[in-house]
A and B are shown apart, each in its own frame.
Chain A
């Protein structure tokens, strides 16, 4: 188990650049080979030829509602099974950790689900579960999107949050609307507990959004989507990307699937704030399925190559994007480098969660979660803690 494994013949993403170098792993942790060589006087026990592939940190999806016919929010009974099925399925997409996302739901659903989805290390059985992303119910009626209106709640203070969600132990991210009464107080409380507050489903103006960020919020949920459109006298939440009145780097999720976000909007956001860009799938249960018609929850959904429609309509049922698809689309749409595109799905989400020393990076001391990619960013194989967990080379 203490074997030193040397992955060689690869270009690794380190310090924002792809460089020809080897990756050294022991006990699931990325090692500094100089220290192994000079201090421990050790070389590698096993060499693995990466055949010239790109070696990127494993992808991190902060917003995913389900996939492979599983919808996290509606399968309360079997939620552990559902989460595990998705976790396993995500390995083929190079995702090594994710936040299962629960849409606006009644309180008893939160309590039931939260007790069952515990953070979990990744393995060959599935990507790591970082904690739950609770999207709602403290959101704005006018920007509810696909969320069921009857379960949307008011924020009456910190107690109301605990009352609705119950135990927050397994929660990683909460999306709320910053214009709600008591929002700043709640954001402070959640941030102090180490929970990332994301702003979204909101009609907030810029000032309210800035106050929220200065109270602890760090993230914006699917930028442009379910918020006020950019207006030059009040740019709203979108204005956070270039605000000078906030005390930290703001991160923002975007669904770069080529369908839910226009490429020009991707470019505007990326150019305004390249370091904050986080690619999310926001995928629904139809993600990962072959084309066809399915019964998903209460709906019949027809899936073609790229889209999921409510059956017999032209209404989009939600995103069925995979993260590598989003990375490829983002790179093409923004003309960004491979490095920038990869970091938007690795380093940036890790930084947003304050986990950039352990995931989303190939720095020494980090967990050896990584993906081998072809030059056109197709997943070739996936590793968690240095162990092969998926390979497409049959």
Chain B
């Protein structure tokens, strides 16, 4: 497990975007060989997406041969609703880059048969050859995607009822009207993300510091679902200083000592 500690949110965004850029470019994707990227929504990855768009615009990165799978989507929220994750992905990433619409996959929360939709999502990931890099954020309660506390750590893509905390937190996006907030979501399972070749978790802000502590210093617990990635062979947590507030000094110092090595991962490679 890697933990990369950077000064602030902007540096986290840049570092994460460079890491993703290098992973895609090193993979050298092509028409017969797509890079498969798992993607989150929410405020944490926004900065990373902005940087990825900049890389695309400067010619340093192309999404032509990238397939994406998003982590989750609300149930029964119109696709075109400004708070839908379809809208989020369109506004904040897809409309700015050269991805082929056929390769961008988001769970359909309005499917007639949501159970079938979840299964077919899993099947599509498999058909694509599995996820090369799954990027995620976490909630203050340590949830990854909509795998709320108490979710099974071997769960697959499924319908999930949101925790009351999540519903209350989401109310601000729905005119503070609780009755408008979706109660259910379709989400990849912890097991689905665990299957990825590599997992990258972004954590920023003091309000996530306890979750980061639980994620890397506590034991594996289904009450902090992100902690499951301690058992993933290739997980990289990227956080800012604020998010380390609940960590032991020893932990922070150890990982900061490794920064020189970690920074090599994001150096711009000159194509040979």
A interface list, Cβ under 8 A from B: 22, 32-43
Closest to B100 in A: A43
Bound-complex Cα distance A33 to B87 (A): 10
Bound-complex Cα distance A224 to B240 (A): 63
Q: Is the interface of B mostly helix, strand, loop or mixed?
A: helix
Q: Are A34 and B100 in contact (CB under 8 A)?
A: no
Q: Are B80 and A43 in contact (CB under 8 A)?
A: no
What residues of chain B lie closer than 8 Å to A36, measured between beta carbons?
A: 101
Bound-complex Cα distance A73 to B86 (A): 54
Q: Are A32 and B95 in contact (CB under 8 A)?
A: no
Shortest distance from the beta carbon of A42 to any chain B beta carbon, whole Å: 6
Q: Are A34 and B101 in contact (CB under 8 A)?
A: no
Bound-complex Cα distance A37 to B94 (A): 9
Q: If A22-B95, A32-B80 touch, does A37 touch B104 (CB 8 Å cutoff)?
A: yes
What residues of chain B lie closer than 8 Å to A33, measured between beta carbons?
A: 90, 95
**A-B pairs with lowest CB-CB distance, top 10:** A41-B101, A37-B101, A34-B90, A41-B102, A38-B86, A43-B101, A34-B80, A42-B101, A37-B90, A37-B94
Shortest distance from the beta carbon of B54 to any chain A beta carbon, whole Å: 15
Shortest distance from the beta carbon of A16 to any chain B beta carbon, whole Å: 16
Q: If A41-B101, A43-B100 touch, does A35 touch B94 (CB 8 Å cutoff)?
A: no
B interface list, Cβ under 8 A from A: 79-80, 86-87, 90, 94-95, 100-102, 104, 106
Interchain residue pairs with CB less than 8 A apart (12): A22-B95, A33-B90, A34-B79, A34-B87, A35-B79, A35-B80, A37-B94, A37-B101, A38-B79, A38-B106, A39-B79, A42-B101
Bound-complex Cα distance A229 to B219 (A): 82
Shortest distance from the beta carbon of B70 to any chain A beta carbon, whole Å: 11
Partner of B90, one of A38, A40, A41: A38
Closest to A40 in B: B101
Closest to A41 in B: B101
Shortest distance from the beta carbon of B107 to any chain A beta carbon, whole Å: 11
Closest to A32 in B: B80
What residues of chain A lie closer than 8 Å to B87, measured between beta carbons?
A: 34
What residues of chain B lie closer than 8 Å to A43, measured between beta carbons?
A: 100-101
What residues of chain A lie closer than 8 Å to B80, measured between beta carbons?
A: 32, 34-35
Q: A34-B79, A36-B101, A38-B101 provided; 7 other pairs, C-beta below 8 A?
A: A33-B95, A37-B94, A37-B101, A38-B86, A38-B104, A40-B101, A41-B102
Shortest distance from the beta carbon of A10 to any chain B beta carbon, whole Å: 14
What residues of chain B lie closer than 8 Å to A40, measured between beta carbons?
A: 101
Shortest distance from the beta carbon of A90 to any chain B beta carbon, whole Å: 34
Shortest distance from the beta carbon of B252 to any chain A beta carbon, whole Å: 40
Bound-complex Cα distance A33 to B102 (A): 14
Partner of B86, one of A22, A34, A41, A42: A34
What residues of chain A lie closer than 8 Å to B94, measured between beta carbons?
A: 37
Bound-complex Cα distance A37 to B97 (A): 12
B90, B104, B106, most chain A CB atoms within 10 A: B90
Bound-complex Cα distance A187 to B33 (A): 69
A32, A35, A38, A41, most chain B CB atoms within 10 A: A38
What residues of chain A lie closer than 8 Å to B86, measured between beta carbons?
A: 34, 38
Bound-complex Cα distance A124 to B87 (A): 35
What residues of chain A lie closer than 8 Å to B102, measured between beta carbons?
A: 41
A37, A39, A43, most chain B CB atoms within 10 A: A37
What residues of chain A lie closer than 8 Å to B79, measured between beta carbons?
A: 34-35, 38-39
Bound-complex Cα distance A37 to B98 (A): 12
What residues of chain B lie closer than 8 Å to A41, measured between beta carbons?
A: 101-102
Bound-complex Cα distance A42 to B106 (A): 15
Bound-complex Cα distance A43 to B97 (A): 11
Closest to A364 in B: B80
Shortest distance from the beta carbon of B91 to any chain A beta carbon, whole Å: 9
Closest to A39 in B: B79
Closest to B103 in A: A41
Bound-complex Cα distance A255 to B145 (A): 58
Closest to A6 in B: B95
Bound-complex Cα distance A35 to B94 (A): 13
What residues of chain B lie closer than 8 Å to A32, measured between beta carbons?
A: 80
Bound-complex Cα distance A34 to B93 (A): 12
A32, A34, A35, A36, most chain B CB atoms within 10 A: A34
Bound-complex Cα distance A255 to B140 (A): 59
Bound-complex Cα distance A22 to B90 (A): 12
Shortest distance from the beta carbon of A71 to any chain B beta carbon, whole Å: 48
Closest to B79 in A: A38
What residues of chain A lie closer than 8 Å to B90, measured between beta carbons?
A: 33-34, 37-38
